[in-house]
Amino acid sequence: MGIRKTLQEQAFNFSRRTMERLLADDKRAQAVAGALGTVQRGKRALDRGQEEVMRALQLASKTEFKALGRALSGLKRRARELDERLSAATPKRD
């Protein structure tokens, strides 16, 4: 096993043991879960605010970029399929 793999394994074991100790107490575990919930709600609120600002500035938002990326990916795939069909249907010239 290489040094990198060994270090990764040790880091994983250390973090696992730390989390086990941290979450062993129910009160602490509930506090951690509450904090994580608060962070997630904050991130959603930030994302919504960012999207509103982007729309107000008439700029594309992150979700619109993702949708455009998926549409472009589908168009590329369709173009490849059509190119393959066209290549198969057209006789090759020497």
Residue 94, pLDDT score: 59
Give the pLDDT confidence score for residue 62 in this predicted structure. Answer: 84
Q: Determine how many CB atoms are found less than 10 A away from the CB of residue 2.
A: 7
CA dihedral 43, 49, 52, 56 (to 10 degrees): -140
Phi-psi region at 63: left, alpha or beta (left = phi > 0; alpha = psi -120 to 50): alpha
At residue 38, the pLDDT reads 97
Predicted pLDDT of residue 90:
78
Q: What is the pLDDT of residue 39?
A: 97
Write down the pTM of the prediction: 0.52
Q: Please check whether residue 55 is in contact with residue 61, taking contact to mean a CB–CB distance below 8 angstroms.
A: yes
Per-residue pLDDT tens digits of the chain, which is 94 residues long: 799 999 999 999 999 999 998 889 999 999 999 999 999 999 999 999 998 998 899 888 888 889 999 999 999 999 999 999 998 887 766 5
pLDDT score recorded for residue 85: 92
